[in-house]
Amino acid sequence: MINRPRALLPVGAICTMALVACARKEDPKPAQGLPSSSSASATSPAAAASTDKPATQGNPQASSSAEAGRNALNVVLITIDCLRADMPWAGYPKPIAPRLTEFASKAVEYTHAYSLSSYTSMSVGGFLSGRLPGELKRDGYFFGTYAKENLFFPELLQDAKIYTSGAHAHGYFKKSGLEQGFDSWELVPNLKWNNTTDENITSPELEAIAERQLSDPRADSGRFFAWVHFLDPHDKYMTHDGISWGKTQRDRYDGEITFTDRYVGKLLDFIASRPWASRTAIIITADHGEAFGEHKQYVHGFELWENLVRVPLLVSLPGATARKIDTPRSAIDLAPTIVDLFGLTPPDSFLGKSLVPEVRGTAADPRDILIDLPATSDNDRKRAFIHGNLKVIASGEADLPQVFDIKEDPGELTPIRGTDASKEIVALYKERQKPLQDVPPTKCKEGCLNGGYRKK
Distance CA 406, CA 217 (A): 48
User: What pLDDT, on a 0 to 100 scale, did the predictor assign at position 194?
Assistant: 79
Question: What is the three-class DSSP state of 181?
Answer: coil
Question: What is the three-class DSSP state of 236?
Answer: coil
**19: in domain:** no
Residue range of the domain that includes 131 = 45-55+66-367
Q: How confident is the model at residue 438 (pLDDT cuts 50, 70, 90)?
A: confident
User: What pLDDT, on a 0 to 100 scale, did the predictor assign at position 70?
Assistant: 64
**344: in domain:** yes
Looking at residue 262, its amino acid is R
Q: What is the count of structural domains for the chain?
A: 1
Q: How confident is the model at residue 331 (pLDDT cuts 50, 70, 90)?
A: very high
- Residue by residue, DSSP assigns 185-223 as EEE-SSPPP-TT------HHHHHHHHHHHHTSHHHHHS-
**1: in domain:** no
| Interior/surface letters 331-344, b for 16+ CB within 10 angstroms, e for the rest | bbbbbbbbbbbbbb
Tell me which of 36 and 239 has the higher pLDDT.
239
**372: in domain:** no
User: What pLDDT, on a 0 to 100 scale, did the predictor assign at position 445?
Assistant: 65
**146: in domain:** yes
pLDDT tens digit string along 93-119? Answer: 999 999 999 999 999 999 999 999 999
**240: in domain:** yes
Query: Percent of the chain at pLDDT above 70?
Result: 81
**398: in domain:** no
Q: Is the pLDDT of residue 26 over 50?
A: no
Tell me which of 334 and 69 has the higher pLDDT.
334
- Residue by residue, DSSP assigns 356-394 as HHHHTT-------EEEEE---SS---EEEEEETTEEEEE
Q: Could you report how far apart the first and last alpha carbons of the chain are, in Å?
A: 29
Considering only 113-127, 144-158, 256-270, 395-409, which range has the smallest mean pLDDT? 395-409
Give bridge partners of residue 315 from the DSSP assignment: 108, 283
Q: Model pTM?
A: 0.84
- Write out the E strands in 317-447: 323-325, 329-330, 369-373, 382-387, 390-395, 400-405
Distance CA 356, CA 333 (A): 10
83: CATH: 3.40.720.10
Question: What is the three-class DSSP state of 295?
Answer: helix
**357: in domain:** yes
Burial of 386 (0-12, 13-18, 19+ CB in 10 A): buried
User: What pLDDT, on a 0 to 100 scale, did the predictor assign at position 117?
Assistant: 97
**Cβ contacts of 408 within 8 Å, gap of 6 or more:** 389
Q: Is the pLDDT of residue 403 over 50?
A: yes
Q: Is the pLDDT of residue 136 over 90?
A: yes
